[in-house]
Homo-oligomer: A and B are copies of this chain.
Amino acid sequence: MKNRVITISREFGSGGRTIGKLVAKELGIPCYDNELLIKIAEESGFQENYIKEAGEYASGGFLSNIFSRREASPNNADYLWHIQYRIISELAEKGSCVMVGRCADYILKDKADCLKVFIHADVAFRAERIVKVYGEREESPEQRIRDKDKRRAAYHRFYTDMKWGHAQNYDLTLNSGTLGIDRCVDIIKGLY
């Protein structure tokens, strides 16, 4: 099996993004994460900060839109989804790369030789990590994790109909808390 694209889905704070960057660096291929945001911003006209949230997380408005779906016309989230879908497909055509988040696993499922990875860890590990990486906030780290995970899963489920975090959707899933970031990098690299 020749895997041209590695997609990394991840729980908030699990280090999935860091793992993606390290894998890409060691393999000498690009890692698309913020680069995706910038491209989507350029094409859509939305600000990067808006896309960061709206292109991966279900918001209150997003959820109320689901419930009134029958009458709703396409909204910002749908518009972003289509741009995101096209940009991810085009980048995968261009060459080998790592893609972090943004439902790339689903978008590329029939289009590329894809190694689909999911990174997770328990809440304690992630809580400690997000305070280190992103600093303190008014909300507790545990609350931030619950909120982000829930909204990410809802977004993923709505656009892909895949259950987020179910082993069956991935080639491999790794617990970065028990295995450690470096070991996760080695395993993924070894499968490329």
Contact = CB atoms under 8 A, between A and B. Distances in A.
Interface of A: 1, 118, 120, 122, 165-168, 170-175, 178-180, 183, 186-187, 190-191
Contacts of A168: 120, 122, 165, 175
Given A172-B174, A174-B172, A183-B191, A167 B1 contact: no
A184 to B, nearest CB: 9
Instruction: Indicate the member of A172, A180, A186 with the most B CB atoms within 10 Å.
Output: A172
Number of copies: 2
A138 B165 CA distance: 35
Nearest to A184: B172
A142 to B, nearest CB: 15
A173 B174 CA distance: 7
Contacts of A175: 167-168, 170-172
Contacts of A118: 167
A168 B165 CA distance: 7
A180 to B, nearest CB: 8
Contacts of A120: 167-168
Given A183-B191, A187-B190, A171 B178 contact: yes
A42 to B, nearest CB: 34
Contacts of A178: 1, 171
A122 B170 CA distance: 11
